[in-house]
Amino acid sequence: MSIKYTEDHEWVSVDGDVATIGISDYAQQQLGDVVFVEVPEIGADLNKGDELAVVESVKAASEVYAPVAGEVLEVNEELEGTPSLVNDEALGQGWFAKIKISDASELDQLMDDNAYKAYIEGLG
């Protein structure tokens, strides 16, 4: 299972036609302590670039965008009571939603791990 990244610091892990989406470790570090996460409604149809979630931290509120189009199948309900999971396990238990991918070719536009690391190094 490979992970792909967007320039907005979302990550996507794909298993078959289901994408699990969250924010990168870099993004959670930039946000600081996450105090609230608003996840999408199950059944919502999202286009690539649509707002998927809202993350509020002690520093700022930030939108999380859908890296690929699809239907929301599942949301991480644990984040409602424990938003700090985003800080503790950004690439694990801190995921936001799982969506059924409607256009797998959109994954080709995302960065792999090495490209993402080079991207964030370039942000200085």
Give the confidence band of 23 by pLDDT, cuts at 50, 70, 90.
very high
The model's pLDDT over 63-115, given as tens digits with 9 standing for 90+, comes to 999 999 999 999 999 999 999 999 999 999 999 999 999 999 999 999 999 99
- How confident is the model over 42-58, as a mean pLDDT? 97
H or E element in which residue 48 lies: none
DSSP characters over 27-44: HHHHH-SEEEEEPPPTT-
Q: What is the average pLDDT across 10-29? A: 96
CATH number of 3-103: 2.40.50.100
Q: Would you state the pLDDT for residue 113?
A: 95
What whole-number distance in Å separates Cα of residue 87 and Cα of residue 95?
A: 11
Q: Mean pLDDT in the chain?
A: 96
Could you say which DSSP state residue 108 is in?
A: G
Domain ranges in the chain are 3-103
